[in-house]
Amino acid sequence: MILPTTERYNYHSHTEFCDGRAPMSGMAAAACSEGMEIWGFSPHSPIPVESGCNMQFEAVPIYLEEASRIKGEYEGRMKILTSMEIDYLSTEWGPHVDYFQKLPLDYRIGSVHFVMNQDGIPIDCDGRFERFNQRLKDSFRGDLRYIVEKFYEQELIMIERGGFDVLGHFDKISANASMVDPEIENTGWYQALVDDVIRHARDAGIIFEINTKAFNDKGRFFPNRSLWKELPDKSKGETLEGIIHKKILINSDAHYPEKVNCGRDEAIKLFHEEIINQ
């Protein structure tokens, strides 16, 4: 995939093709006036279950056409990349399946938003806490640990199946789970799950993202800042400084034109502090 040669990039964004709040042209215009040099569109992929957040199958050709039109429009000013944030649901549906492998995309993001409940039904565990908390009770028999373990299991199987370049917000479940149990991220079992995901993603050569979408509202990045130092493969002599913007991308996951760079500058600044403190 095409890696950034500048800090003025974002590889993760949404538009009206899924749950974003502006057309592609509006997002591109905002990104360009913010001084972005590389802008990646990554609508939530189509999925074979009911979802208000995901792009419809019929819209995919229209999306690809519009992306190619905007690519031309911004040529020489801002590099436009065409991607998708592909939902991993099960071994039957994820970035690895033929449908996504055959789409002409510049790169692919693999993300877990849905977790299978005890009855094998995929439930969206992303999004607002109130909804998550209701689903925890109604769909998961109140078993928070079950959700968290399943979430990381989905991440691991998605990584094992492959077919994508960038691992989207790999500890996103921590936002909602820590609202139920504020200590969850300090438990040994939780940390073991996260370590496993990091190790497998590193070994598979997958690029991590630091997702800055929630930083202004929740003061939290995905992955959490406490995990950044774990991302380099020290056995191969990697350092944080060596892998920033190469094996780690800092993405805003913007859904609104006014948020194209939201949290990115703060993350980059904190990243440099982390490098100094290493």
Q: In the complex, which residues of this chain contact Zn ion (CB under 5 A)?
A: 85, 111, 253
Tokens of 276: 């100094």
Residue 79 or 213 having the CB closest to Zn ion: 213
Residue 131 or 137 having the CB closest to Zn ion: 131
At closest approach, how far in Å is the CB of 12 from Zn ion? 6
129: amino acid identity, one letter: F
Using an 8 Å Cβ cutoff, are 116 and 122 in contact? yes
Residue 240 or 261 having the CB closest to Zn ion: 261
Helix ranges restricted to H, the chain: 24-33, 60-73, 98-101, 129-138, 144-161, 173-180, 188-203, 215-218, 240-243, 264-277
At closest approach, how far in Å is the CB of 238 from Zn ion? 26
The answer to whether the Cα torsion of 144, 148, 149, 150 is positive or negative is positive
The residue whose two tokens read 């209701």 is 134
Neighbour order of strands in the sheet with 166-167 = 85-87, 109-111, 166-167, 207-211, 248-251
At closest approach, how far in Å is the CB of 39 from Zn ion? 14
Helix ranges restricted to H, 41-128: 60-73, 98-101
**Beta 79-82 vs 85-87: how paired, if at all?**
unpaired
Residue 111 or 178 having the CB closest to Zn ion: 111
At closest approach, how far in Å is the CB of 191 from Zn ion? 22
At closest approach, how far in Å is the CB of 170 from Zn ion? 10
At closest approach, how far in Å is the CB of 102 from Zn ion? 22
106 Ramachandran zone, left/alpha/beta (phi>0; psi -120 to 50):
alpha
Residue 111 or 154 having the CB closest to Zn ion: 111
Residue 211 or 240 having the CB closest to Zn ion: 211
Residue 59 or 275 having the CB closest to Zn ion: 59
Measured CA to CA, the distance from residue 173 to residue 63 in angstroms comes to 29
At closest approach, how far in Å is the CB of 75 from Zn ion? 26
Measured CA to CA, the distance from residue 256 to residue 19 in angstroms comes to 10
Cα angle 95, 166, 128; round to 5: 80
